[in-house]
A = this chain, B = another copy of it.
Amino acid sequence: MSVTIRPAEPDDVPILVRFVHELAAYEREPESCRLTEAQLDAALFGPSPAVFATVARVGGEVAGVAIWFLTYSTWTGVHGIHLEDLYVSPDHRRHGVARALLADLARTCVDRGYERLEWAVLDWNTPALDFYATLSSTPQDGWTTHRVDGDALQALAG
């Protein structure tokens, strides 16, 4: 069956949140995911949204989702896209849904003059790494993301 891609609509929020929680479980951190439908609805459809979602449908069903936001590189001088979550429901895997979602984001980049499409991968996630290798993605080896949150964030804020 063919895959169709469209921007998420408010009615998609429940399945988006369910898929985000399923992805967190796959990533072995189900308890780290606290996303609620009210939060995601406000983030995607409130005033001046700074996060976006795309939905892949197969045979009338939502088969996969991409949740993303804009980056900015001071090396390229233009925006890019950071793909925060990419998820395909288990019964729709191996039918090109993930590739269709990524291709749609790549087209958005090209159409808008963005130069980078990026995402973070867990180093043990071999199936994902094998798939991303087919896209000629470049691992940013040598760079590590550092995070300040929780008590450290409060302490730094002073």
Interface set of A (CB-CB < 8 Å, partner B): 20, 24, 29, 32-36, 39-40, 43, 48, 50-51, 67, 69-79, 82, 84-85, 102-103, 106-107, 109-110, 115-124, 132, 135-158
Contact = CB atoms under 8 A, between A and B. Distances in A.
Ranked nearest first, the 5 interchain pairs of A and B with the lowest CB-CB distance are A39-B77, A136-B152, A51-B72, A106-B156, A106-B157
A114 B20 CA distance: 19
A144 to B, nearest CB: 5
A74 B144 contact: no
A71 B82 contact: yes
A110 B151 CA distance: 11
A148 B123 contact: no
Contacts of A24: 75
B153 A117 contact: yes
A75 B33 CA distance: 4
A143 B118 contact: no
